[in-house]
Structure 1
């Protein structure tokens, strides 16, 4: 049975639920021993200060860390097409299609924009900018969920230039009720001397390790968008400046920044990802950071509505 997906774009008022396909991710569970629980979502504008929240939060000792590459083993479905049954580890974590309390990870909204040259030969200007927002509807912590975007034409065929090289994005942790944004850029393929027209983008969440909140120190690493500066001859390159506030007592590890772009009506029109953004973005306290997004900013995006999601992990 085919993996359920969520088509984009969608309305901000509609929530699409996605089935989380999970097996026991041995490589991820092996890391249960050190780490911190932290949230990755934009916040309202906080007062300007460089002080660490008092008292600061000391990372817990029973949650998984991000891998060196910033990605977890991608779970697979069983031969019958159903997800493998949940399995509990000695540390009390659960891996399965849903959290122990029946919650899950759902796509709140998503969207995309195709722009650039419509004619062959292929140039670097022909891209699709994609973005999505995910919510954790459970009362448990969700670790290591990966988000994949599939760019398709009207017949359901891959429309991106090299689908095999597109990597799913891992979100280190999503707190209960937390919303996290993910963005990506895709080069568009060409057939018959013309650029492929993208008809839809499917968004899929594949995997999470669930842990109870009880006894685990948790806090939100928050961000505040400061400025989106366009540049280049076509104004689709961007530098996004933002502020990060980490309430943790020690430095965490930055695994990149996910960006979501919206139009004047607030509808998602794309996004981007900078894997090297703000390596110091997860220091204790408040810090100004920036992300570089090449060929990712849709012409229809309202630069004042840019959302930034700094990804932080322990270890």
Structure 2
């Protein structure tokens, strides 16, 4: 069932700075780690499941569990490149089923309850291709703010809504090899401090501020896909937190790199202009690489 949440909630989470180890785009020659696994089981939904696609058979679903925003730039018109609102949210799958193609929509409202954004392609919903049972997946966005009577409209609140998911029963992924990797202990420790989306792990390495106003961000990270096949990228999200762990914003890079969701470990980098709030703690950035499985019929 779709859920709307006004973005003032916050949850304190542990975070730690990680030394920069890699830079640049993913290596097109990346190979699977051993053992690698197949994609999550995706059975064809029954007619009854399709009719109630927003709620899985166990009665649970997707919840927006954290969200926050920051309005950036001055209040004066005309609209400048700084006239943005930075938004981040975290969606949790509380069911025992896998959610596919969930849509997250941000409704940015002024004090009168009217939309505060300009109508652009940036306002479109963000898609999360796969959310496994128990996963918490972040999504970010940055939106242009309209002006009125010579002043930029002030954002009063943002509603984050998740909808549109279809569901399949989830089977335990089976490895195609049984040997442990030499770096298995290191891998487990590294992944424990990272985020996951659809079982693909992303570890934040560094957030760098730049630009005259220091709200542009370059974020570098490392992706680990345990799958034997390449998945398809549909973009990268960042969620920004302050020192206390509160979500204060986010960003989204729609760039679809042909090598972004390769099997194995590889580096990644994304540019997020006009999206990094002054209150954000650079070392607490969370990165989520959104990848669709190769058997997704709509990819």
TM-score w.r.t. length of structure 2: 0.79
Q: 1:276 aligns with which of 252, 255, 273?
A: 255
State whether residues 260 and 271 of structure 1, in contact with CA within 8 Å, keep that contact through their aligned partners in structure 2.
yes
Looking at structure 1, the residues matched to 261 and 231 of structure 2 have their Cα atoms a distance apart, in angstroms, of 5
CA-CA distance at 1:100 after TM superposition: 0.4
Looking at structure 1, the residues matched to 37 and 216 of structure 2 have their Cα atoms a distance apart, in angstroms, of 37
The alignment status of 1:166 with 2:123, answered yes or no, reads yes
State whether residues 93 and 212 of structure 1, in contact with CA within 8 Å, keep that contact through their aligned partners in structure 2.
no
The alignment status of 1:293 with 2:272, answered yes or no, reads yes
C-alpha distance 88-148 of structure 1, shift in aligned 2 (>3 A): same
Please give the secondary structure, in 1, of the residue aligned with 2:199.
Answer: strand
Counterpart position of 1:80: none
* CA shift digits 1:148-170 (9 cap, x unpaired): 00110111011112268610011
State whether residues 95 and 210 of structure 1, in contact with CA within 8 Å, keep that contact through their aligned partners in structure 2.
no
C-alpha distance 259-165 of structure 1, shift in aligned 2 (>3 A): closer
Greater CA deviation, 164-173 or 262-271? 164-173
CA-CA distance at 1:314 after TM superposition: 2.2
Looking at structure 1, the residues matched to 121 and 291 of structure 2 have their Cα atoms a distance apart, in angstroms, of 27
Counterpart position of 1:68: none
The alignment status of 1:237 with 2:207, answered yes or no, reads no
Looking at structure 1, the residues matched to 50 and 4 of structure 2 have their Cα atoms a distance apart, in angstroms, of 26
CA-CA distance at 1:174 after TM superposition: 0.3
State whether residues 42 and 168 of structure 2, in contact with CA within 8 Å, keep that contact through their aligned partners in structure 1.
no
Q: 2:199 aligns with which of 220, 229, 242?
A: 220
The alignment status of 1:155 with 2:135, answered yes or no, reads no
State whether residues 172 and 311 of structure 1, in contact with CA within 8 Å, keep that contact through their aligned partners in structure 2.
yes
CA-CA distance at 1:63 after TM superposition: 5.4
* CA shift digits 1:6-62 (9 cap, x unpaired): 11121227xxxxxxxxxxxxxxxxxxxxxxxxxxxx9x98xx997733221123674
* CA shift digits 1:195-219 (9 cap, x unpaired): 1110000101111111001366697
C-alpha distance 56-114 of structure 1, shift in aligned 2 (>3 A): same
Q: 2:246 aligns with which of 257, 264, 267?
A: 267
CA RMSD of aligned residues (A): 2.8
Looking at structure 2, the residues matched to 62 and 202 of structure 1 have their Cα atoms a distance apart, in angstroms, of 31
Where do 5+ consecutive residues of structure 2 fail to align? 23-29, 176-197, 295-299
Please give the secondary structure, in 2, of the residue aligned with 1:59.
Answer: coil
Please give the secondary structure, in 2, of the residue aligned with 1:159.
Answer: coil
The alignment status of 1:9 with 2:3, answered yes or no, reads no
Counterpart position of 1:88: 46
Counterpart position of 1:246: 225
Q: How many residues align?
A: 260
Looking at structure 2, the residues matched to 202 and 186 of structure 1 have their Cα atoms a distance apart, in angstroms, of 14
The alignment status of 1:115 with 2:72, answered yes or no, reads yes
Q: Pairwise mapping of residues 179-190 of structure 1 onto structure 2 (< 5 A)? A: 179-190=136-147
TM-score w.r.t. length of structure 1: 0.75
State whether residues 140 and 251 of structure 2, in contact with CA within 8 Å, keep that contact through their aligned partners in structure 1.
yes
